[in-house]
């Protein structure tokens, strides 16, 4: 039996208050947009499913999960446990179930998303695509503040779930918070930056068309009737995700506009498609199948509309998916209650026309919201038919996991209501990148070229807004030097047979470049060439590295700033002559590791696995040990890992050399195998004016007797260590700054 965490929060009804907004709903929502856990659901257009604007913010509970690893957070608790995500969802919905008599769609509940990849918890499916985003599969927040506006009347209601947390009533605090935020002046729109020439796809056009041919072969073989095939686009993004959301809403106000501030990523969705709506026992789903682009003029527009309405192919696709959904919701509905109330309704949007059907039913006694989700998820309109085989083929042919794309976004209330959209026309923003997918239903007589073009039409809304982003942006392509040529970074490729890929058989040097001047370049090249002679062959490359570095710096427009340049070499493939090693030089802006930190030093954590390898004498790409050590330190809330030798003496950190200063002695740890540090040598040479340099065995306890512990590498210069394994160390103010003023 699963033991769910005890949450020290009780929920006792909902406080409601009618309010009058002093600005538009979206401007009101913008005041809360930066709060982690904020969800904004806007209804655009005038269709009959576009009735409410909803803001949910200041979560008192968050639930995230990846596979079965669940994380539950409240103001006072942070709990990890193992459980099925759907059972976890059911547990919390039952734990906080409320009996409310309300005209509003939701007064308390969970807001967020269910990723498409949750399918793997419902069916036993092969997993052959890559999860490169590594984002939660379930991400839901229970807001302490919900603001709802009825579009037609603009009547706005504030809902605050009345809670007791740690024996304290939270309503006064929530009311004060809401009033404080509402009194804020409208934020200055920071804008956003993107440019569509930067867009890349996880498919080439030929590969996408070949995948369509493969689906048609499966159809001909009787595996499947239809598969929804998609490609994922990616581009650089900076600025405000909510600003992008606003711009999209203004240009294309679809029925299910969603924004989620998830902290480490943001979701922006412009979906036209309802997945599931529940009101008590009444159930509705609205599948979409059939798409045509809007015309360039009135005559062409009418022609496209007529073409879609009369399309036998699109009619057949929609009818097939309607039957699938009737079957899905029929699993949890009262027998005989499932019906198609409207079929093949043509709806017009900013860039496309769609065919839509409405399927209704009545939830059977004893069944609940989660039962309904499990019976229908993911939506049949974006998988194919039959659903399980379609999902297997999608996983086979699409290289990346879909994550949010074709999952669901919306709310599941604590009082038996729910409204979830299908996450199409949806972008994820993470770590300076924006990804979004577009696809279409493939049947036997699909035209592969037209299907490819349809994915471009569906992505047009987002791309057009990014093209005319609110702040001017010039597309930036990163360049590298590879084997004698300056090429775009995205075009730099290494064979999977390269021993550098297979075994880490390669070398690298990382060089700080200050306004086009490489620091200590000759020392770096001496170390690089020594490693080349020892590991690869007696003859290092005959190249003018300084000129190559200048070309790369110039190509990346980094001449007037501090940059990081990396020289890399890999062995190549075993069946090629040694002269065909791969050589690369890359460059990027340098941001000092202490930039933005309050503490001007680093925290060391001892890595429990000692290191002893002759490879440590050279800077090779066989770097996994150090990478894992660094990750270990971060997991323990540290900055760097302290590396020990097998005899428990200190060696180095995962990125730097170490110097211990005590009185007039500067001690350098002695190791049998250790990378000779270029910056460590420079720093020691500088310190000879006031200190005696000693190379000797150093132990962890020596750190606590030192006046100052310093780490050094070619990028950071000298940086003080302020703790080891969470124990404070002594520090000599100004010593590292004095060193850096001289050596950097």
Mind telling me the catalytic residues? 273, 289
Query: Strands, DSSP E only, in 51-122?
Result: 52-66, 69-73, 78-82, 109-114
Structure tokens at 65: 């999960």
In angstroms, the CA 581 to CA 17 distance is: 71
Structure tokens at 329: 């919701």
Return the closest-CA partner of residue 669 out of 717, 723, 616, 739. Answer: 616
Please enumerate in sequence order all residues whose Cβ is within 8 A of that of 317, keeping only pairs 6 or more positions apart, or say none: 226, 289, 290, 441, 443
Return the closest-CA partner of residue 672 out of 711, 614, 713, 629. Answer: 614
Residue 403, classed as helix, strand or coil, is coil
Under DSSP, the state recorded for 363 is B
Contact yes or no for 741/718 (Cβ under 8 A): no
Under DSSP, the state recorded for 130 is B
Strands 109-114 and 78-82: unpaired
Residue 445: HSE in the Cβ half-sphere, 13 Å Cα cutoff = 6
Length of the chain: 744
Paired strand residues for 653: 642
User: Crossing angle for the helix pair 205-220 and 448-458, nearest 10 degrees?
Assistant: 120
In angstroms, the CA 262 to CA 112 distance is: 9
Question: How many other β-carbons are positioned within 10 Å of the β-carbon of residue 532?
Answer: 19
User: DSSP per residue over 643-704, as a string?
Assistant: EE-TTS-EEEESS-EEEEEETTEEEEE--SS-PPPHHHHHHHHHHTTTSEEEEE---HHHHT
Q: Classify residue 151 by burial, with Cβ atoms within 10 Å: 0-12, 13-18, 19+.
A: middle
In angstroms, the CA 141 to CA 58 distance is: 9
Contacts 24+ apart (CB under 8 A), 480-489: 480/552, 480/584, 480/585, 480/586, 480/587, 481/548, 481/551, 481/552, 481/584, 481/585, 481/586, 482/582, 482/583, 482/584, 482/585, 483/582, 483/583, 483/584, 486/551, 486/552, 486/555, 489/586
User: DSSP per residue over 310-346, as a string?
Assistant: T-HHHHHHHHHHHHHHHHHHHTTB-TT--EEEEEEEE
Q: What is the torsional sign of CA 459, 461, 465, 467?
A: positive
Q: In what helix (H) or strand (E) does residue 449 lie, and over which residues does it extend?
A: helix 448-458
């Amino acid at each position: 039996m699963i033991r769910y965490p005890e949450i020290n929060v009780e929920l006792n009804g909902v406080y409601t208050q009618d309010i009058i907004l002093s600005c538009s709903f979206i401007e009101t929502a913008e005041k809360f947009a930066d709060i982690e856990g904020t969800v904004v659901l806007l209804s655009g257009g005038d269709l009959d499913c576009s009735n409410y604007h909803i803001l949910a913010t200041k979560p008192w509970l968050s639930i995230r999960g990846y596979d079965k690893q669940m994380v539950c957070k409240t103001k006072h608790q942070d709990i990890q446990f193992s459980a099925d995500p759907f059972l976890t969802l059911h547990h919390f919905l039952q734990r906080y179930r409320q009996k409310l008599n309300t005209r509003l769609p939701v007064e308390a509940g969970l807001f967020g998303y269910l990723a498409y990849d949750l399918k793997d918890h419902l069916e036993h499916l092969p997993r052959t695509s890559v999860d490169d985003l590594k984002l939660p599969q379930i991400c839901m927040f229970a807001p302490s503040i919900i603001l709802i506006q009825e579009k037609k009347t603009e009547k706005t209601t504030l809902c605050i779930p009345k809670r007791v947390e740690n024996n304290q009533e939270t309503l006064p605090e929530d009311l004060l918070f809401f009033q404080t935020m509402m009194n804020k002046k409208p934020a200055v729109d920071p804008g956003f930056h993107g440019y569509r020439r930067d867009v890349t796809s996880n498919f080439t056009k030929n590969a996408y068309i070949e995948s369509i041919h493969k689906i048609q072969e499966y159809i001909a073989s009787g595996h499947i009737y239809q598969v929804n095939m998609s490609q994922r686009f990616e581009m650089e993004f900076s600025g405000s995700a909510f600003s992008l959301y606003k711009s999209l809403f203004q240009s294309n106000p679809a029925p299910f506009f969603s924004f989620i501030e998830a902290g480490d990523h943001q979701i922006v969705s412009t979906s036209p498609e309802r997945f599931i709506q529940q009101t008590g026992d009444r159930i509705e789903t609205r599948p979409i199948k059939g798409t045509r682009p809007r015309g360039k003029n009135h005559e062409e527009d009418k022609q496209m509309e007529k073409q879609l309405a009369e399309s036998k192919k699109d009619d057949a696709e929609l009818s097939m998916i309607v039957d699938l959904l009737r079957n899905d919701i029929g699993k949890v509905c009262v027998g005989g209650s499932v019906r198609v109330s409207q079929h093949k309704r043509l709806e017009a949007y900013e860039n496309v026309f769609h065919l839509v059907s409405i399927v209704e039913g009545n939830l059977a006694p004893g069944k609940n919201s989660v039962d309904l989700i499990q019976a229908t998820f993911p939506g049949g309109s974006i998988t194919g038919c039959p659903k399980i085989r379609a999902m297997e083929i999608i996983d086979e042919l699409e290289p990346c996991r879909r994550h949010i794309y074709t999952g669901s976004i919306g709310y599941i209330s604590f009082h038996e209501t729910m409204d979830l959209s299908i996450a199409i026309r949806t972008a994820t923003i993470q770590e300076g990148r924006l990804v979004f997918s577009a696809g279409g239903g493939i049947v036997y007589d699909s035209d592969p070229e037209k299907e490819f073009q349809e994915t471009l039409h569906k992505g047009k809304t987002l791309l057009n807004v990014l093209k005319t982003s609110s702040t001017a942006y010039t597309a930036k392509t990163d360049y590298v030097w590879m084997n004698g040529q300056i090429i775009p970074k995205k075009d730099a490729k290494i064979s999977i047979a390269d021993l550098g890929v297979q075994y880490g058989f390669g070398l690298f040097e990382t060089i700080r470049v200050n306004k086009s001047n490489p620091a200590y370049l000759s020392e770096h090249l001496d170390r690089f060439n020594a490693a080349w002679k020892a590991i690869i062959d007696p003859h290092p490359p005959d190249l003018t590295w300084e000129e190559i570095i200048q070309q790369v710096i110039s190509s990346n427009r980094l001449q007037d700033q501090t940059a990081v340049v990396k020289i890399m070499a890999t062995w190549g493939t075993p069946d090629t002559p040694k002269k065909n090693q791969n050589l690369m030089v890359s460059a990027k802006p340098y941001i000092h590791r202490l930039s933005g930190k309050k503490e001007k030093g680093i925290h060391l954590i001892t890595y429990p696995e000692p290191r002893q390898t002759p490879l440590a004498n050279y800077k090779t790409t066989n770097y996994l040990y150090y990478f894992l050590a660094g990750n270990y330190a971060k997991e323990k809330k540290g900055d760097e890992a302290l590396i020990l030798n097998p005899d428990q003496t200190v060696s180095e950190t995962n990125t730097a050399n170490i110097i211990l200063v005590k009185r007039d002695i500067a001690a350098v740890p002695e190791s049998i195998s250790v990378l000779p540090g270029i910056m460590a040598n420079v720093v020691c040479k500088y310190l000879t004016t006031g200190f005696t340099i000693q190379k000797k065995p150093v132990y962890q306890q020596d750190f606590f007797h030192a006046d100052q512990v310093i780490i050094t590498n070619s990028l950071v210069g000298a940086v003080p260590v302020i703790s080891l394994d969470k124990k404070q160390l002594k520090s000599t103010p100004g010593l590292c700054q004095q060193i850096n003023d001289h050596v950097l």
